[in-house]
Every structure is written in structure tokens, then in C-alpha cells.
Amino acid sequence: MSGSTLAQRFERAHRGVGIGGSGRPAPRRRGRRGSAITLLLLALPSLILLLLINLYPLLYAGMQSVRSGNLIGLGKFVGLDNYVGVLQNPDFWSSALFTVIFTVTGVFGSWLVGLALAMLLRTRIPAGGLFKVLLLLPWVVPVVVSATAWNWLVATPQSPLPILAEAIGLGNVLFLADPLLAKITVCVFKVWISFPFMMMMMSSALASVDTGVYEAAKVDGATGWQAFTSITMPLISRSTYISWILMTIFCVNDFPTIFLLTGGGPVNATTSLVVMAYRTVFQNFQTGPGVAIAFLMTLVLVIISVLLYRQIRKVEIE
């Protein structure tokens, strides 16, 4: 071994042979298969519990969606009649339209506000720590408390905002009695309680961006807008897509925000699909059509999530 070169020693070490070894490769570790089986057996009770908790309700709901039952019994088998009836119902499409408006406003409105505040918090501002805590309050406070506060602000003619609107000459503005104003109020409320989540997502994404890139771009003469569009947005695109996926799911499935603020009114103007599904099942006692609405919502969410996930994979490849 004294005459062996350094390259030969590295080659022997790579093959698992010591410096003074006999040249035979080191024996491979045994028992990996047994360890994997042991780990699987240890995790098996948890896997069975998860299947019972998630899979059984899903299968039972699927059975309900193809039967004409109620909350007590499954009823008769009707096939796809519940889905056909739901798709032919004009109220379903009006609820679907409001769900799209509510989701698009909630996702992109909260994202724009959250991104702007995240970029602002990167600068040196007085009492920055206190400012961050205050900005998190809309997300931390329970939605029941927030909805109650907003009802106090806008619900009646004696509320502060209607009084202010009348004082500046806008007349008697009823924010929750007019269908258009009710839609706007609900969407603004959703942005209000959602922007802290987006702010946290964007803050973590911006923290991973190397500041040296901006300095190099500044030396090359790039403007602030060019640095934002050509550097910031591409570098945080992966986190942006993830936040869009999560917020889309939150908005489509958001029941308490709408129900606590307007109850789906006035005249069903703010009835989303999840509120419609709730009314169909728990107020009209028609489990088949109600569960069918929920499954159609799930299908749309899966399609949107897959499309955005493909964008995430493209970002990772690039």
C-alpha cells in the first residue's frame, strides 16, 4: 500500500475499502428490508385510523349523492339525477358565479395587499414589530368577532358607515340590504381577514431572496419596477403559486365569513356554493343534491390545484 497513489486510495475508499484493507468491498448493510417492514407495522395503526376518519365519510357522502335520501336515511338509488338536477338549477349557476367573484377577489385582493405590506415591512419603519403584530390581528381574531364588528359598522342605518355616507351626501346607504353593495362588502371583508396570511407567505418568500441581486441590478441601471417584475416576482413565484392554491381552497370552502355577515342574502345575492350546499342539506333536508354540490366544488378545486401545481413544477425545473 505504500506505493499506491492518492487517486487509488480515493478509489478504494469509494468502493468501501480501507487504506490497509484487502481489496474486498465492505459488506453491505443488512436488515434494511426488515427495518422498513417494522416501520410500516408501527405506522399501520395510524394509517388505518386516517382511512377510517377520511375515507369512510367520503364513500358514504358519495353514496348519498346518488340517492334521494335525507339526514335520516339514504333513500332510493337515483344515479346521476341529483347532479343533473343541480346543473339545471339556475340558483346553482348564480351561486357559482358569486363563488368565482368571491374567490378571485379574495385570492388576488389579499395577495396584492399582503405583498405590498410584506415589501413595506422589509424597510425600516418606526415601531416595525408593533406594526407587524397589529397587521396580524384580522387573521388572529376569530371570524365570529370580526363578523360581529363588521355588522356593527355597516348593518343598520344607525351604523357608523351608513351615517358617514349620509353625512357626505351619498344618501341612505344600506350596505347589507342592497345586493350589489352586499357582494362588495362580503368580498372586502374576505380580503380584510385574509391579507395577513398572504403577508406572512410573501414575507417568508421575500426573506429568501438575496439582496445582492438587487444591488447588482441597481448597478446595471435597473429601475425599481424593473427589479420588481424581473427579479422579485420570478424569485417568489413558487411561494406565490402555493399561496394562491391555499387561498383558493380557503375561499371556495369559506362558510362562516358569508353566513355570519349576510346569511347568503339579500335575495341570495351572496349565496356561495358552500352556503347553498349547507341550505340544501340542513334546511331543505335534501342530502343528495347538497352533497352533489359539494362534490362538484371538490372537482373544480382539484382541477385548479393541479393547474397551479404544474406551474410550481415548471418553476422548480427552471
Comparing 30 with 303, the larger pLDDT belongs to 303
Distances in whole angstroms, Cα of residue 189 to Cα of each of 32, 196, 303? 54, 13, 27
Contact at 8 Å (CB) between 205 and 240?
Answer: yes
The predicted pLDDT at position 318 comes to 52
CA distance 133 to 200: 11
> pLDDT > 70: what percent of the chain?
88
The predicted pLDDT at position 185 comes to 93
The predicted pLDDT at position 3 comes to 46
Per-residue pLDDT tens digits for 124-182: 777 667 777 888 888 888 999 999 999 898 888 888 888 888 888 888 888 888 899 99
pTM: 0.80
> Predicted confidence band at 315 (pLDDT cuts at 50, 70, 90)?
low
Per-residue pLDDT tens digits for 17-43: 444 444 455 455 555 677 888 888 888
Annotate 181-214 with DSSP letters as a single string: HHHHHHHHHHHHHHHHHHHHHHHHHHHTS-HHHH
CA distance 125 to 134: 14
Per-residue pLDDT tens digits for 168-181: 888 888 888 889 99
Cis amide bond preceding 138, omega within 30: no
Domains in the chain with CATH codes? 29-65 (no CATH), 81-317 (1.10.3720.10)
pLDDT surpasses 80 at 118: yes
pLDDT surpasses 90 at 105: yes
Q: Is 77 helix (H, G, I), strand (E, B) or coil?
A: strand
pLDDT surpasses 50 at 2: no
First to last CA, the chain: 47
Mean pLDDT of 176-190: 92
Average pLDDT, the chain: 84
Per-residue pLDDT tens digits for 229-271: 888 888 888 889 899 999 999 999 999 999 999 988 888 899 9
Distances in whole angstroms, Cα of residue 182 to Cα of each of 55, 91, 144? 38, 18, 18
> Predicted confidence band at 10 (pLDDT cuts at 50, 70, 90)?
very low
